[in-house]
Amino acid sequence: MSRIGKAPIELPAGVTVEVSKGNLVKVKGPKGELSEQVDPDLSVKIEEGVLTVERPSEQKRHKSMHGLYRSLINNMVVGVTEGYRKEMELVGVGYRAKNTGQLLELTLGYSHPIMFAVPAEVKLTTTAEKGQTPRVILEGIDKQLIGQIAAKVKAFRKSEPYKGKGVKFLGEEIRRKQGKTAG
């Protein structure tokens, strides 16, 4: 049996989970509400504050879906209680980030600034303190949405291995390469 799939999900106080017809799972908590359509073959059961996902057979497809949907539901429960946060830093001379509401403006060494609209579900913050690299902070309840936005921002200027310039996650290690050696 799947180790991830069979693990029960403890529902914290203040979190309610509804499973409607057609396996639509809705999770409500103090920070908001999320929903996910679960595969119709799987069953989601809630008993005494513990949620479990069960599969009908040992087919390969059912096994793969079992762990996936358990993780997605767990991410929703964590999101509506604690929320998620991603911090990225811009490493490079002249690299800047500023936001006007939900519009992120990045200066990454190109001939023009990059304008990126962030969805309203994600809280966007930028910091630029003297002596530190500029930072972009994304906060929200949907782990998948935050990860996708962070990946798009990072794709504007990926970190290069020679000088380490580019957009990277806070604390991310960039594998450095040695440059050309003379003679």
Which residues span the domain enclosing 155?
A: 84-169
Does residue 119 form part of some domain? yes
72 and 16 in one domain? yes
62 and 98 in one domain? no
Which of 142, 149, 143 lies closest to 124 in space, CA to CA? 149
Does residue 105 form part of some domain? yes
- Looking only at the bridges linking them, the beta strands covering 96-100 and 103-107 are antiparallel
Residue 104 CB burial class (10 angstroms; 0-12, 13-18, ≥19): buried
Q: Per-residue pLDDT for the chain (183 aa), expressed as one digit of tens each?
A: 468 888 999 999 999 999 998 889 999 999 999 999 999 999 999 998 899 999 999 899 998 899 999 999 999 999 999 999 999 999 999 999 999 999 999 999 999 999 999 999 999 999 999 999 999 999 999 999 999 999 999 999 999 999 999 999 999 999 999 988 876
Question: What CATH number is given to the structural domain containing 51?
Answer: 3.90.930.12
pTM of the prediction? 0.89
Which of 159, 182, 156 lies closest to 170 in space, CA to CA? 159
